[in-house]
Amino acid sequence: MVDLKRVLVAAPLWPGSTAVPRTNGLRALGLEVTTLDTSDWWGGVPGLLCSLAVRVYCTASVRAMNQSLLRAAAENHPDVLWIDKGFWVYPWTLKAARRHARFLVHHTQDDAFGKLEYAWLYRLGIGLYDLHLTTNRFNVMELPDKYGVRVVRAGMGYDQDFHVPQPVVVPDAAKIVFIGHWEPHSEEYVRALRRAGFEVEVWGQNWRKARHPEFRSARPLFGSGYLSTIAGAAIALCFLSRNNRNESTMRSFEIPAMAAFMLAERTREHEYIYGDGVGAAFFSNSGELLEKARYYLEHEEERRTIAATGHARCMALGLSWQDHMRREWLITERLLLGGALQEEDDQPFWHGFRTGAPFAPAHGAGAAGCARPHVNERHRRCKELPRPPLRRL
């Protein structure tokens, strides 16, 4: 097998972007990685032009970034052109890039069919990629059915160089925080907590859309402020995006990686990774959220034990972006060169993870590390998708 060594990563590489640790993970494998920072494809300035850029992709900034992508491909002649969230890439740019790149790969954490994702342009060019990696389980099943393309589920993670325990911070015993974008259910959960008398602080994007004025002043929080806020709270909340159909999110891994206590929405994925009351605590509705918040605020030692277990679980499974790249590059390379998925590719998750199978506890088991379920029919069908043709330089 001929190794694919030269990789051109076109990704938003602003400080704090999840693409940065993924790119570092590729470099750590000894690959010859060159980069194109696509952070400002939308123009970099809020307003009408930004709105046009992210909806109809017709602005000068979008055209300029497409030209930059094509120039970079022509200059580097990569074995793999790796595009991270290329919703702004024109199909004719991808066609032209094929003259210079042996393979085209797309990676995203966003739902290609999400209500608020303007992914129509991406969908027009889906068939031009050799492989798609997505953290969205539903897309792993939907994209092959709708477009006949090959898709592999990628792991969601944290930055091992940034999301680390903050030993000098002593958590406020009464403080609850949520850092994340606004959605209606997130607002209602926080309102329920505040109405019950809990101290809850909120940061994130789009809270200006909140139904209640008390939330509209919330702003995003990045960098050291993010770390100190999580570390300084007794409870860090983790709500999942309904728009993105998430079953886990970045906070699902960032909070435990920092050895902080996480109270998250209950999903099978969360239960598989941590176990309820073992490495994190989970809730399914507002009543359970209030009950769990009250209980864990009153039981500090139990919080600490759960936070430490969640942190250990992240380390043991290898759930950082860098760890994911170490595993997923090997899968990517094998599939591009005509190979097939193998059973061990699902590690460290459950059997069928890479092909979109949900975690199904065997005989009612629900804790982290439980037995694998059987391969379902969807898993079999996805593995039998036609392999992409071998492309030669």
User: Residue 323: what residue type?
Assistant: D
Of the candidates 60, 109, 67, the residue with the CA atom closest to the CA atom of residue 87: 109
Report residue 236 as tokens.
Answer: 């860090």
205-243 as b/e: b if 16+ CB within 10 A: eebeebeeeebeebeebeeeebbebbbbbbbbbbbbbee
Residue 186, Cβ neighbours under 10 Å: how many? 23
Cα(347)–Cα(333) distance, integer angstroms: 17
Helix (H) or strand (E) holding 131: strand 131-134
Task: Report residue 152: phi and psi, to 5°.
Answer: -125, 140
Q: Provide the 3-class DSSP secondary structure of residue 314.
A: helix
Cα(149)–Cα(332) distance, integer angstroms: 14
The predicted pLDDT at position 60 comes to 86
CATH fold match for the domains 6-157+321-360+372-383 and 172-317: yes
**Fold of the domain spanning 172-317:** Rossmann fold (3.40.50)
**Fold of the domain spanning 6-157+321-360+372-383:** Rossmann fold (3.40.50)
Residues of the chain predicted below pLDDT 70: 1-2, 45-47, 49, 116-117, 168-170, 173, 362-393
CA distances to 14, 85, 159 from 17, in Å: 6, 12, 9
The predicted pLDDT at position 118 comes to 85
The predicted pLDDT at position 381 comes to 37
Cα(308)–Cα(257) distance, integer angstroms: 9
Cα(275)–Cα(121) distance, integer angstroms: 39
**Domain ranges within the chain, ordered by starting residue:** 6-157+321-360+372-383, 172-317
CA distances to 127, 134, 138, 192, 202 from 180, in Å: 33, 20, 22, 17, 8
Q: What is the pTM of this model?
A: 0.89
Cα(270)–Cα(265) distance, integer angstroms: 8
Helices 60-76 & 48-56 angle (0-180, nearest 10): 60
Cα(84)–Cα(101) distance, integer angstroms: 16
On whether the CB atoms of residues 379 and 137 are closer than 8 A, the answer is no
List of residues 6+ apart from 97 with CB closer than 8 A: 69, 70, 73, 81, 104
Residue 46, preceding peptide bond in cis (omega within 30° of 0): no
Cα(331)–Cα(249) distance, integer angstroms: 22
Helix then strand count (H, E) for the chain reads 14, 11
